[in-house]
Amino acid sequence: MVSRADRGPLAEWLWTVDHYLLAAFVLLAIGGVVLSFAASPPVAERLGVESFYFVKRQAVFLLPALAMMIGLSLMSPRIIRRVALLFLIGSLAMMVATLFLGVEVKGGRRWINLGFTTLQPSEFLKPAFVVIVAFLLSESGRRREVPGALFSALIFAVAAMLLIAQPDFGQTMLLALGWGALFFINGLPWIAIIALAVVGLVGMSSAYFLLPHVTSRVNRFLDPGSGDTFQVDTAREAFLSGGWFGKGPGEGIVKRILPDSHTDFVFSVVAEEFGIIVCMLMVVLFSFIVLRGLRNAARDQDAFSRLATSGLVIMFGLQATINLMVNLNLIPAKGMTLPFISYGGSSLFSTALTAGFILALSRRKPRPVHSESVIVSRVSPSSLMQPGIR
C-alpha cells in the first residue's frame, strides 16, 4: 500500500489520477484483444495467414500501448504540451512524406511502410492537434496579444489540406468537429459559431461535388440501389442474426463474409456473437468515459487543462459515435476505427496517446491557497484578545 504521506511520483499519481477513467480505458483495451478472437480469424483465413495472426499482433501492441498510456498519465500539463507539440510536428511531417512514399490501400495513400508494420500518421495528429489548439486558445485568453485563434486556424488548414490530399475526408471532418468544439467551449460568439457552421456546410458540399468517392458513398447511403452496399447490408444482417443475446463466441456466420470485420465493422461482429445487450454495455462504457472526462474538465480551474480534456474526450466520443453509426447504417460508410476495439497498431497507440493525455490533464490538482487565509490561520483566537491586536 502507498500512504498519503509518501510524496514520490508514483504515490502522487496513485492519489491524483482518476481511477474510474483509468479502469474504463484498460477495460476497453483488454476487450479489444478479447473481441479480436471473434472478429479477426475469418479475415486472416481469407488473406492466407494463420487464424490468430491479427489476435497475436493486437496482443503484442497492447502492452507497449498501455505502458505509453500510463507513462503519459504521470506527466504534468507542461510536459504534456511539449509531447503534443512533438507529435504534431512529427505527424505533419510524416503526412507530407506519405503523399510521396506512402502505401496505397483502397485508393488512399495514408500509411507509411516501416518494414515490420505500417504507420498511419494522421491517427497521431488528432490528439496532438487538440492539445496544441487548447493551449493556443487558453494563452490568448490569458494574454490578449497572443493570436491563438489565428494560429490554430493555420494549423487546422495545413492538417486539413494534407488529409484531403490523401484523401481522408472522414478524418478531416472529425478534426474539424473537434476544432469547432474547442472554440465553442472557449466561448465563441454566436455570430462566429454560425460562420463556422456555414463554412462546414460549404466544405461538406464541396466534398460531395468534387470528391468522387464521397459522392459515391453518400449516393449509396441515400439510394442503396445506386451502387454496391454489400458491406453495410452484411453488417445490418449481423445485428439481426445475433439478436439480444448473440449466437455465442465463435458461432457467428455472417462475420465470415464481412470484409472489414476486424477493423471498421468489429461492432457488427460483437452484435452477432455476443448480442445487442453487450453492444449496449459497450456504448455505456464509451459514454461513461466522455461524461466523466467532461465532468473532470468542468471542475478544473486551469483553462488549458479544461479545454484540452474537453476536446480530447469529445474527439474520442465522436470517433466512437461515427464508427457505431456506420455499423448501424445511420450515416454514409466511412473507414473509421472503434477506439481500443478495432484492430490496428496505429489506432491502438493513438487511442492510448489520447487516453494518456486525458488521464494526465484530468488528475486532481492542489487548490490554490489565498494569502488571506494563510494570515488568518496563523493568528490564534487567544492572540486576538491581546492589546494591540485589532
pLDDT tens sequence across 51-110: 888 888 889 999 999 999 999 999 999 999 999 999 999 999 999 999 888 777 766 788
Give residue 70's pLDDT.
Answer: 95
Query: In sequence order, what are the beta bridge partners of 108?
Result: 105
pLDDT of residue 48: 79
pLDDT at 107: 67
Separation of alpha carbons 361 and 304, rounded Å: 9
DSSP-based three-state secondary structure for 387: coil
Mean per-residue pLDDT over the chain, rounded: 84
Domains of the chain: which residue ranges? 9-364
How confident is the model at residue 3, as a pLDDT? 56
What sign results for the dihedral spanned by CA atoms 290, 293, 295, 300? negative
Question: Which ranges of the chain have pLDDT less than 50?
Answer: 369-390
For residue 130, what pLDDT is reported?
A: 96
How far is residue 4 from each of residues 14, 73, 75, 91, 113, measured CA to CA in Å?
Answer: 10, 19, 19, 40, 47
Residue carrying C-alpha cell 460508410: 333
Tens digit of pLDDT for each residue in 304-356? 999 999 999 999 999 999 999 988 888 887 778 899 999 888 899 999 999 99
What pLDDT score does 315 carry? 94
Rounded to two decimals, what is the model's pTM? 0.88
Side-chain-facing half-sphere of 250: CA atoms under 13 Å: 3
Q: Are 129 and 314 in contact (CB under 8 A)?
A: no
Task: Give the number of other CB atoms < 10 A from CB of residue 230.
Answer: 11
For 40-168, where are the alpha helices, taking DSSP H only? 41-47, 53-73, 77-101, 121-142, 148-165
- pLDDT given at position 155: 94
